[in-house]
Amino acid sequence: MAGCLSMSFIFLCVFMCCCSERVMGGDPDSLQDFCVADRQGKVLVNGFSCKDPKMVSAEDFFFGGLRRGDTNNAVGFNVTAANVNQIPGLNTLGISLVRIDYAVDGINPPHTHPRASEILVLLKGQLLVGFIDTTNKFHSKMLKKGDVFVFPKGLLHFQQNVGVRNAVAIAGLSSQNPGVQVTANSLFAANPPMPDGVLTKAFRSDKTVVDFIQGKFM
């Protein structure tokens, strides 16, 4: 009986180790060479169903659109994405990238990617970057051209152009579809809006302050 129990315990441990390894990685591993996204597919799966491999061509793995984004907006930055929505061949491969353009003083405001870690390389300019971990410790660096910085999966992070010219970065992400949640917009520009009572309490503030900030997102 005791032997039986310990055997099941070992199996349970092995099973849990296998599972937790999956949870710690990025997107699930591919079980074939590729599974090019079939956007017309009627089957609902985690990602997109596969296009017939005989119909796949080099175009499915190509994107010609990673050009300069227009930074003429309230925060002075622009993210141009190259993920499964632009490149169907990325389906099931667990990677994607973005190009980020920053105007002088521009920021990529504090945000999170629910499904991806990010590795950023600065191609031009000077950036202040940072993330906050779950103990609220702030990890920050000043980057110059050629420097690389990592933002761990799910953690709140930002980049700010502190140079005198525009800046450009490329970032790789460990998901075909990293997702993004911009914290200020989520809190102050949700639709329908977050209840005032939640925001006033959370920010230890009052309705005047909350209304003022919400007004900035109109």
Ligand X SMILES: *[C@@H]1O[C@H](CO)[C@@H](O)[C@H](O)[C@H]1NC(C)=O
- Which residues lie near ligand X (CB under 6 A)? 69-70, 73, 78
The answer to whether the beta carbons of residues 121 and 148 sit under 8 Å apart is yes
The answer to whether the beta carbons of residues 113 and 80 sit under 8 Å apart is no
Extended strands (E) in the chain: 77-82, 96-102, 107-112, 118-124, 126-132, 138-144, 148-151, 156-161, 167-173, 181-182
Q: Which of 40, 34, 27 is CA-nearest to residue 57?
A: 34
**Minimal distance in Å, beta carbon 43 to ligand X?**
33
Of 88 and 106, the one with the shorter C-beta distance to ligand X is: 106
Q: Cα separations (Å) of 201 from 72, 101, 204, 205?
A: 34, 36, 5, 6
Of 63 and 154, the one with the shorter C-beta distance to ligand X is: 63
**Minimal distance in Å, beta carbon 123 to ligand X?**
17
**Minimal distance in Å, beta carbon 191 to ligand X?**
17
**Minimal distance in Å, beta carbon 39 to ligand X?**
22
CB atoms within 10 A of CB 10: 10
**Minimal distance in Å, beta carbon 71 to ligand X?**
7
Of 54 and 67, the one with the shorter C-beta distance to ligand X is: 67
> In the Cβ-directed half-sphere of 174, how many Cα atoms lie within 13 Å?
17
Q: Which of 74, 94, 73 is CA-nearest to residue 84?
A: 94
Of 71 and 91, the one with the shorter C-beta distance to ligand X is: 71
Of 69 and 89, the one with the shorter C-beta distance to ligand X is: 69
Of 79 and 194, the one with the shorter C-beta distance to ligand X is: 79
**Minimal distance in Å, beta carbon 102 to ligand X?**
12
Rg (C-alpha) for the chain, rounded Å, is: 21
Burial group, residue 210, by CB count within 10 angstroms (0-12, 13-18, 19+): buried
Q: Which of 180, 177, 200 is CA-nearest to residue 188?
A: 200
